[in-house]
Chain A
Amino acid sequence: MKIEKTNAGFLTNFEVLDFLRSRGAKTDPMGCLGAVAASECKVYEYLLKTPACNQTRESINEFVTRCESFKLTNADKLNVINWRPSSAADAYAQNEGILRAIIQIWGQDCK
């Protein structure tokens, strides 16, 4: 075995969820008897509980374009996309830069 690239790209939770869905993962316990392994179904079920379950590619793309002016790192963007903070406490867990960005975005939305 030879590792060509340790990191060939990050994936958001939504992309992983979409990929597993396209492979046929289901929450039905009997559904795991098909083409998808049981461990993949476990990951699928976990991701269904995260905010990724109702995200779309369009909403993620819109987020990326709107937060360009806040100079977030890629890791910060990934954290926000994956967990979609819905309160100040959630945002604080990420870091203060994200909190500031989110407050401004929310402020814009309220106008």
Chain B
Amino acid sequence: MFVLSQIEHNLPMPPHLLSRPLVDAIKAELERLFLDKVVANLGLCVSVYDIRSVEGGFIFPGEGCSTYKVSFRLLMFRPFVGEVLVGKISGYDEKGLHVSLDFFSDISIPGHLMQYGTARALDGRWMLKTEDGDELYLDLDDEIRFLVSSIKYPPIPVEQKETDRAFAPMQIIGSIKGDGLGLLAWWAADEEEGEAEAEAEE
């Protein structure tokens, strides 16, 4: 889920930060540049983990700021394919569900990666028809456990239709086709029923 990435960056240091200790100023500038932003193929930057080296401090002609070459490690959110995550359903459309971890919300579960027997109800909600004939709805704000199927870093679109969703630099495709996946409530209920039966037998 969380990974460290080591990056080297030529960092211009604005003059208004020169009164602070150098490491603090560099950290503040790195946070302004990277925090809560997506770096292609690296993931979502959660925090600046540490600063490993600072070199330079040159002032180039025509510029009013000193430039440092900084090597640092960022704490990135980048789940690996096959990792199991738990999030909340934040929306749905004809393609599937939209899931949100609180700090990252560009997760989608397409219809073909849901449990066999999942269909869309008349009111637009997705539901799972079990063999017993039950209809298990996937409602908004329900907690859902999903497997990371793939992670995409789409390029910035050149043109955008009005109906398109907002551009997401990092997209996670999840799957709930598998044992133990799906709403947490589904499996918790089974567990409680099993315990009740066990108690009845005793």
Given A43-B77, A45-B102, do A90 and B31 touch, yes or no (CB 8 Å)?
no
Given A11-B75, A75-B82, A89-B191, do A39 and B36 touch, yes or no (CB 8 Å)?
yes
A104, B1: Cα distance in complex, Å: 26
Nearest to A89 among chain B residues (CB) is B187
A7, B145: Cα distance in complex, Å: 25
Among B56-64, B91-99, B177-185, the one that faces the other chain is B177-185
Flag whether B167 is at the interface (Cβ < 8 A).
no
Among A13-21, A53-61, A62-70, the one that faces the other chain is A13-21
Q: From B71, B80, B102, B180, give the contact of A92 (CB < 8 A).
A: B180
Is B47 within 8 A of A40, CB to CB? Answer: yes
Is B71 within 8 A of A4, CB to CB? Answer: yes
Q: How many residues of A contact B (CB 8 A)?
A: 38
**0/1 string, B159-202, CB within 8 A of A gives 1:** 00000000000000000001111000001001100000000000
Given known contacts A10-B2, A13-B1, what 6 new A-B pairs fall within 8 Å (CB)?
Answer: A2-B9, A4-B71, A75-B83, A89-B180, A89-B190, A92-B180
Is B2 within 8 A of A7, CB to CB? Answer: no
A2, B31: Cα distance in complex, Å: 17
**0/1 string, B1-34, CB within 8 A of A gives 1:** 1111111111000000000000000000001000
Nearest to A2 among chain B residues (CB) is B8
Cβ distance B68 to chain A, nearest Cβ, rounded Å: 13
Q: How many residues of B contact A (CB 8 A)?
A: 40
Is A39 within 8 A of B83, CB to CB? Answer: no
Is A87 within 8 A of B103, CB to CB? Answer: no
A sample of 10 cross-chain residue pairs with beta-carbon separation below 8 angstroms, ordered by A number, consists of A1-B10, A2-B7, A3-B39, A3-B42, A9-B3, A46-B103, A75-B80, A79-B84, A92-B180, A93-B147
A89, B5: Cα distance in complex, Å: 33
Cβ distance A37 to chain B, nearest Cβ, rounded Å: 5
Is A19 within 8 A of B145, CB to CB? Answer: no
B residues near A11, Cβ cutoff 8 Å: 2-4, 75
Is A40 within 8 A of B46, CB to CB? Answer: yes
Cβ distance A65 to chain B, nearest Cβ, rounded Å: 22
A20, B6: Cα distance in complex, Å: 19
Given A11-B2, A13-B2, A91-B180, do A79 and B83 touch, yes or no (CB 8 Å)?
yes
Is A8 within 8 A of B2, CB to CB? Answer: no
